Amino acid sequence: MTKKLLGLSLLLIAVVLITTGFGCSKKDKVEEVNNQPEVTIPVSSNYLINVDQTTIGWAGEMILVGKKHQGEIKVKSGNLITTDGQITSGEVIMDMVTIVDKDLANNDANKIKLETHLKSADFFDVENYSEAKFVITNVTPVVDGTVNQYNVTADLTIKDKTNSVNFPAIIVAADNQLTASGEFTIDRTLWDIRWGSDKFFDDLGDKILNDEIKFTINLQADVQPEVTATTEETTENPETANVEENENVEVE
């Protein structure tokens, strides 16, 4: 009788310990889950450059005679990536074959002469370097709180030569569309465009060409919807799979 009571007592104690242990374990797990910090996932968007609504302008001048010319280069393609509404990266491909002068009349022989010269090896050498590339590496808001104004840093590649440029820009995002405008000036000789530069040639007379070229950017980009695979696209049809397996079985 004593042994039975002892056995029963030990059984009751074991049940109590097990029940209490499970209860504490569940409570600890619940508290552990509830104490996990919330994770904020950055929202990214991809904008494609609207090439029909984007312009790249250029301007240069001959120093001594004060002759100035300006024109445009068409954009071939490009995109901008934003995270939480701010541009984090992007790329613009310029079609250098399309470079034109805009200040001379279309029937002016000097216009054709100038455009031919710009496309030659003296300048952009479009036969060998048909594209130029503008790659955004950093975008930061202006610290004084000016609305929609940013400092942009980018790598500009012309004739396979890459140098960094920095300039202020106005960037506005609204209605699934992003617009940006800004201008910067480069020393063309850093991109191996040396014609008419008094840094490299003597006795140029009045044909000295300013080493500075100003570029003006006005671009528009449209947001691209996220593409998600449907269940039908991602799930294999069992019947189709069975048919394919049967077709692959050799009949002896």
CATH of the domain at 170: 2.40.128.110
Structure tokens at 188: 């063309």
Residues in the chain: 252
Yes or no: say if 119 and 97 are a contact pair by the CB < 8 Å rule. Answer: yes
What gap in Å lies between CA 161 and CA 153, rounded to an integer?
Answer: 17
Residue 136 located in a structural domain = yes
Scanning 35-166, the segments in alpha helix (DSSP H) are: 109-119
What gap in Å lies between CA 17 and CA 110, rounded to an integer?
Answer: 99
Residue 87 located in a structural domain = yes
- Phi and psi at 159, nearest 5°, equal 55, 40
78, 84, 106, 138, 187 from 43: Cα distances, Å: 20, 5, 47, 18, 38
Yes or no: say if 60 and 210 are a contact pair by the CB < 8 Å rule. Answer: yes
Residue 81 located in a structural domain = yes
| Number of domains, the chain | 1
Q: Which amino acid is at 178?
A: L
Structural domain span for residue 175: 54-223
49 strand-pairing partners: 221
Q: Which amino acid is at 94?
A: M
- Phi and psi at 241, nearest 5°, equal -60, -40
Q: Which amino acid is at 28?
A: D
Q: At 213, is the secondary structure helix, strand, or coil?
A: strand
Scanning the chain, the segments in alpha helix (DSSP H) are: 2-34, 109-119, 231-234, 238-248
Residue 20 located in a structural domain = no
What gap in Å lies between CA 79 and CA 90, rounded to an integer?
Answer: 5
The pTM of the full predicted model, rounded to 2 decimals, is: 0.74
Residue 24 located in a structural domain = no
Residue 80 located in a structural domain = yes
pLDDT tens for the chain, residues 1 to 252: 555 555 555 555 555 455 555 444 544 544 555 555 555 556 789 999 999 999 999 999 988 777 899 999 999 999 999 998 889 999 999 999 999 999 999 999 999 999 999 999 999 999 999 999 999 999 999 988 778 999 999 999 999 999 999 999 999 998 899 999 999 999 999 999 999 999 999 888 878 999 999 999 999 999 998 754 444 444 455 555 454 555 554 444
What gap in Å lies between CA 251 and CA 95, rounded to an integer?
Answer: 59
Residue 72 located in a structural domain = yes
Residue 183 located in a structural domain = yes
